[in-house]
Chain A
């Protein structure tokens, strides 16, 4: 008879699941439905839009992963833009000098990690205001890349799509998921890896503990500084990979300030995705879709000035931020330097 008092535990798991994920699943099903319907109307354009959404989403997911690693451990990273930009530039230069694409990707990742180290040093060791620390990184990256950039250089080749056998021939899904260049594949994998590490490993538990209640974690013997350093540096490395995507996979050359605000859009993606890698991926696909539509609209013969189409992703970011930031639970110690007393 004791059990009857414990009513809350009696709520069916199905109901709980629906309450938590219902709207997400609803939106996803809706999107899939509309896509299939459109595919029947015009298969070529739909295929192009879906595939381009995925690719446009790649730097945004990577940026969001960078942001959420930092913030889950309590460090706000507003310097994603700069880490991405420097990664893009170093990867580009490495390729121009050596002609080796793989080496160039590693160089980009290393440059991002180095910028991550700088951010960690500023926010963890120096206990600087983290928003300003990130801004320093952004301005520094803009200045360094601008100074060392020479017009007219192009990369020696680009990372090419790899078709995964028969999978790539599946209509609609094939070209979108199974015929991508390496960094896009790596992004798919990273999303799941980061999700697993964050929620199913000891390290992930420590990271989240440090982001929520560093003092408690410290008392239990977790090295708060180390956890924050490692996460922010890893985040920087991932942002560097996003930079490599831009120069080595998407464009094949470098332009000044070519990240174009993606690092900041990635922060909105992270918040929209409720600080989870899978959520961020979903949110990034939405933004990728907005970008893909933008390209389609610019080609289509309609009478909207291109500048108005060009602002879509930025306006979407503002709308998402103002609609969702209040409803997302931010890690409790996010942005607060830890003082070991």
Chain B
């Protein structure tokens, strides 16, 4: 028995608290580094970073109302983050969460204003599921293309994002347009709305529930095992007799469902109709959130809360400190950089590898 093995035993604490500390060390450092560089950028462009950041915190956690806003902003983000992270587990990079989310938002709005005479709970549920189904169907396209033709999902999903923007714009400005000049659908019925309890939106609880469900699916079901196997090694999965093509498509469908529900919740809980331009970027934020949360369903929630808080506080920051909202996009991009370039961060904080599953996305050639 060599010293090395003994040392490793000592160094890996069996307490789960130690595990958590080890897992969050890198994302936490990444966030702090990004905020630091963001502050430098703010200072360079002539703003007061301390004033800007305190306005940001004030606008997101300052009072109960601000906190409610943060939760409301975080809700669709949890869904889009889950969508990206879930596909990731099968080695798929679903950049198309944006397009799937748009369809979810549109279809939920359609069900919300066209279907009459349902009791509130039923109507809201129906609209939510319809939105999810729309996202799922739309995500099945790149899934099938990947499985049967090898067309890489990164490009097809991005192209489908542009297609989705065009199609939803067409409906909001054409057949489904509300009276008036603004291109948007009519308002959904009260029965289709997802309410808030005090300042806390009910949708947030649904999002947390979804995270638990995805965690269960991934680590406690056969399907989840297959998905993770395909993600770690498609060849091994095939050799073990798993239907890789089927798993790829199903993964995309579930991922699209999550994104679609995220869009539907935005429609039913915040906007109350579909209006082009109201949901832009939510899908892309999902990428940052998924990676910041280390693609674990329970990591997604704090990551989404962080990004949601930045979104909720951005207006206050712009108003109080006179800083352009877009600085939050820069900070977000920096977070993404530092959390993925974790070698740099590890060197800085002298942390060891957290031993998590390493998933590599496929290139063009491999399938």
Contacts and interface: CB of A to CB of B under 8 A. Distances in A.
5 contacts: A143-B332, A147-B45, A265-B159, A315-B163, A325-B149
A131 B341 contact: no
Contacts of B152: 321, 325
B interface secondary structure, majority: helix
Interface in B142-173: 145, 149-152, 154-156, 158-160, 162-163, 166-167, 169-170, 173
Contacts of B333: 136, 139-140, 142-144
B337 interface: yes
B40 interface: no
Nearest to B330: A143
A140 B327 CA distance: 11
Contact of B291 (A130, A132, A264, A267): A132
B364 A147 contact: no
A271 interface: yes
Contacts of A174: none
A147 B344 contact: no
Given A264-B159, A311-B167, A321-B156, A128 B330 contact: no
Nearest to B361: A131
Contacts of A317: 155, 159
Nearest to B338: A136
Contact of B174 (A136, A267, A305, A332): A305
B326 interface: yes
Interface string A213-225: 0000000000000
A135 B94 CA distance: 12
Interface of B: 41, 45, 93, 95, 145, 149-152, 154-156, 158-160, 162-163, 166-167, 169-170, 173-174, 284, 287-288, 291, 324, 326-327, 329-334, 336-337, 340-341, 343-344, 360-366
A133 B342 CA distance: 12
A137 to B, nearest CB: 9
A305 B176 CA distance: 14
Contacts of B287: 135, 139
B365 A332 contact: yes
A321 B149 CA distance: 8
A84 interface: no
A144 B329 CA distance: 8
Contacts of A308: 166, 170
A99 interface: no
A314 B162 contact: yes
B45 A148 contact: yes
Contacts of A322: 145, 149-151, 156
Contacts of B343: 126-128
Given A143-B329, A261-B159, A307 B149 contact: no
B207 to A, nearest CB: 23
Interface residues of A, number: 50
A232 to B, nearest CB: 15
Interface of A: 71, 76, 78, 122, 126-133, 135-136, 139-140, 142-144, 146-149, 260-261, 264-265, 267-268, 271, 305, 307-308, 310-311, 314-315, 317-318, 321-323, 325-326, 330-332, 334-336
Nearest to B88: A132
Contacts of B163: 311, 314-315
B313 to A, nearest CB: 16
B154 A131 contact: yes
B291 A307 contact: no
Given A129-B361, A271-B364, A314-B159, 6 more contacts: A132-B340, A139-B287, A265-B159, A305-B170, A325-B149, A336-B363
B332 A139 contact: yes
Nearest to A328: B364
A132 B361 contact: yes
A122 B326 CA distance: 25
Contacts of A140: 330, 333-334, 336-337
A318 B160 contact: yes
Contacts of A326: 149-150
Contacts of A310: 166
Given A139-B287, A307-B167, A317-B159, A330 B365 contact: yes
A144 B151 contact: no
Nearest to A270: B364
A318 B167 CA distance: 16
B50 to A, nearest CB: 18
B303 to A, nearest CB: 15
Nearest to A148: B45
Contact of B363 (A76, A135, A268, A314): A76
